[in-house]
Chain A
Amino acid sequence: MTKNPNVVEVAASAPVSDQDSAWIKSKRYWYLTSIALPAIPLVSAFFAVQTGYGLLLWFMVAVMYAILPFIDYLAGIDRANPSDELVEELQSSRYYVYVMYGATAMHWASLVGMAYVVSQFDFSWFSILGGALSAGIANGVALVAGHEMGHKVNDKGQVLCAKLVLACSGYGHFFIEHNKGHHKDVATPEDPASSKFGETIYKFVRREIPGAFRRAWELETARLHRLGKSEWSLSNEIIQPALVTVAAYTLMLAYFGPIMIPFLMIAAAFGWWQLTCANYVEHYGLLRLKDKNGRYERCQPKHSWNSNHKASNLVLLHLQRHSDHHAHPTRPYQVLRDFPEVPALPSGYPWMFFVSMFPSAWFSLMNPKVVSWAEGDMNKVNIDPDMRDEVFKRYHNPKAAA
Chain B
Amino acid sequence: MKKYECPDCGYIYDEAIGAEHEGYPAGSKWEDLPEDFPCPDCFVREKPDFVLKEG
Contacts and interface: CB of A to CB of B under 8 A. Distances in A.
A292 interface: no
Nearest to A223: B23
Interface string B1-25: 0000001110000000000011110
B26 interface: no
B40 A226 contact: no
Nearest to A179: B43
Contact of B7 (A2, A224, A330): A2
Contact of B22 (A2, A226, A299, A329): A226
A3 interface: yes
Interface string A183-200: 110000000000000000
Contact of B41 (A2, A223, A326, A330): A330
A197 B28 CA distance: 43
Contacts of A330: 9, 41-42
Given A3-B7, A180-B38, A329 B23 contact: no
A227 to B, nearest CB: 5
Interface residues of A, number: 20
Interface residues of B, number: 15
A3 B43 CA distance: 16
A184 B23 contact: no
Contact of A2 (B42, B44, B51): B51
Which one of A154, A328, A329 has the highest number of Cβ atoms from chain B below 10 Å of its Cβ? Answer: A329
A328 B9 contact: yes
A223 B43 contact: no
Given A184-B38, A226-B22, A227-B23, A1 B7 contact: yes
Interface in A171-186: 179-180, 183-184
A183 B43 contact: yes
Given A153-B41, A154-B41, A329-B44, A226 B8 contact: no
Contacts of B51: 1-2
Interface in A293-332: 299, 326-330
Contacts of A184: 38, 43-44
A153 B9 CA distance: 12
Contact of B24 (A1, A224, A226, A328): A226
Contacts of A327: 8
Contacts of A226: 22-24
The listed residue with most A CB atoms (<10 A of its CB), out of B23, B42, B43, B51, is B43
Contacts of B23: 223-227
A180 B43 contact: yes
A295 B8 CA distance: 19
A224 B21 CA distance: 9
Contacts of A179: 43
Nearest to A153: B41
Contact of B44 (A3, A153, A299): A299
A157 to B, nearest CB: 15
Interface in B17-55: 21-24, 38, 40-44, 49, 51
Given A1-B7, A180-B38, A184-B38, A329 B24 contact: no
B24 to A, nearest CB: 7
A223 B44 contact: no
Contacts of A224: 23
A191 B4 CA distance: 29
A114 B41 CA distance: 36
B29 to A, nearest CB: 15
Residue of B7, B42, B51 with highest tally of chain A CB at under 10 A: B42
Nearest to B34: A226
A347 B51 CA distance: 40
B45 to A, nearest CB: 9
A337 to B, nearest CB: 15
Interface of B: 7-9, 21-24, 38, 40-44, 49, 51
Q: Which 4 A-B pairs have the closest CB atoms?
A: A226-B23, A227-B23, A329-B42, A330-B9
17 contacts: A2-B7, A2-B49, A3-B8, A153-B40, A180-B38, A180-B43, A183-B43, A184-B38, A223-B21, A223-B22, A223-B23, A225-B23, A299-B44, A329-B9, A329-B42, A329-B43, A330-B42
